[in-house]
Amino acid sequence: MGALRPDDSRHVPCDTQQHDAQAAGFQKDILSNSSGQKVPPAQQARAQEAPKSIAAGLLLATLGAIAFSGKAIIVKLAYRHGVDAVTLIMYRMLFALPIFAVMAWWASRGKAALTRKDWLGVLWLGFTGYYLASFLDFAGLAHISASLERLILYLNPTLVLLMGLVLYQRRITPRQMMGMAISYCGVVLVFGHEITLQGDDAASTALGALLVFLSAVSYAVYLVYSGELVQRLGSLRLVGLATTVACLLCLLQFVLLRPLSAAAVAPEVIWLSLLNATLCTALPVLMVMMAIERIGASLAAQTGMVGPLSTILMGAVILGEPFTAWVAAGTMLVIAGIFVFTRAGR
């Protein structure tokens, strides 16, 4: 199975600058038409729709990022009702399974059947990108705050680049190194602050941070190795199939590791899992994909910077997590570092 190089522009559905330039170009052609010729109605319509498309794309990307960030909040709330990671992720995937199965079916209509190689790729990516990454994330959230979890996961682009260095000897620019250093300093700052707050439970915090970091590594593996299948199957079809595989693996994991009596949980866990599967899993996937179609992957990714901020805000308001100057400083370092990192990669 082919791998995706970190700088492979083939996997960017639409370049943001090109999209904006096209929109501006349509308006300029109309406003400065000095030939006196009548502008075709189709061109006028495109010029009028372009700003609306950009605004809609930004709104979708923002709402998608906020919805994604709510996952950690819901997981932390569910843990208050005595459920463990294996059972909790089972319920999340149980409710998400019909949604992603329909997504896979819809995206597969009229397409060629998958080959044996395709199925092996889907199974591998479903295991690494959605099953393993999700389970490690859920397990880690039992030990650390939602804010620290979101900051660690936000380091994902740097992990993809580091894998590119190891696998392809891809050169890292000085500005990218600077961005990585800034962002990792921010995570270390928040991690050190949380270790201090935990006191005797410092080992538990360290374990949780390690599990979430491994989750980010697992998802980075998915991103690096999904390139060929994305081109052959399409992103929506691959996401639908891979997440369906992950859902089945989570259900199988519960059957193998827990007695069926463990499925008897508090009603709050059921409703929170249903909310997690819909509002914080399936819906944001669709919103971000629709945003990319309108504003491009680059601008959609930059808009996603509201994710860590919304997680910290919801963590403080809903979970009562402490919001201190250390957390604020660490968060700003992570966001600034990733911004520098992504800009340097262009």
Specify the amino acid at residue 300.
A
Q: Which residues, at least 6 apart from 280, have a Cβ–Cβ distance to it below 8 Å? A: 67, 68, 70, 71, 74
Per-residue confidence (pLDDT) for residue 140, from 0 to 100: 95
- Angstrom CA distances, 272 to 76, 94, 232, 287, stand at 10, 13, 36, 21
Give, for all 346 residues of the chain, the pLDDT tens digit: 444 443 443 333 333 333 333 333 333 333 344 444 555 555 555 455 556 678 888 888 889 889 988 999 999 999 999 999 999 999 999 999 999 999 999 999 989 889 999 999 999 999 998 999 999 999 999 999 998 999 898 888 888 888 888 887 788 888 888 988 988 898 899 888 888 877 777 889 999 999 999 999 999 888 888 877 888 888 889 989 999 999 999 999 999 999 999 999 999 999 999 999 999 988 888 888 788 778 876 677 777 778 888 988 999 999 998 888 888 898 899 888 888 887 776 5
Q: ∠ at Cα 192 (280, 187), nearest 5°?
A: 45
Q: Are 314 and 146 in contact (CB under 8 A)?
A: yes
Specify the amino acid at residue 228.
E
* pLDDT tens for each residue of 288-318: 878 877 887 667 777 777 888 898 899 999 9
Count of CB atoms situated within 10 Å of the CB of 218: 21
Give the tokens for residue 96.
């998400």
Nearest to 96 by CA among 285, 230, 335: 285
Q: Is 35 part of any domain?
A: no
Give the tokens for residue 128.
């690494």
| Number of Cα atoms under 13 Å in the Cβ half of residue 280 | 20
**Predicted TM-score (pTM) of this structure:** 0.80
* Burial label, 18 (beta-carbon count in 10 A; 0-12, 13-18, 19+): exposed
Per-residue confidence (pLDDT) for residue 30, from 0 to 100: 35
Give the tokens for residue 283.
């819906």
Q: Is 8 part of any domain?
A: no
- Angstrom CA distances, 13 to 64, 239, 266, 295, stand at 18, 15, 43, 10
Number of helices and strands in the chain (H, E): 15, 0
What are the φ and ψ backbone dihedral angles of 13, each rounded to 5 degrees? -60, -35
Q: Is 2 part of any domain?
A: no
Per-residue confidence (pLDDT) for residue 299, from 0 to 100: 75
C-alpha span between 296 and 168 (Å, rounded): 26
Give the tokens for residue 144.
């650390």
Give the tokens for residue 328.
């604020």
C-alpha span between 258 and 251 (Å, rounded): 10
| Dihedral, 346, 172, 127, 233 alpha carbons, nearest 10 | 40
Question: Does residue 115 sit in helix, strand or coil?
Answer: coil
Per-residue confidence (pLDDT) for residue 217, from 0 to 100: 93
Q: Is 124 part of any domain?
A: yes
What are the φ and ψ backbone dihedral angles of 206, each rounded to 5 degrees? -65, -40
Q: Is 1 part of any domain?
A: no
Per-residue confidence (pLDDT) for residue 18, from 0 to 100: 34
C-alpha span between 176 and 162 (Å, rounded): 11
When divided into structural domains, the chain yields a total of: 1
For residue 94, the enclosing domain spans 15-24+41-344
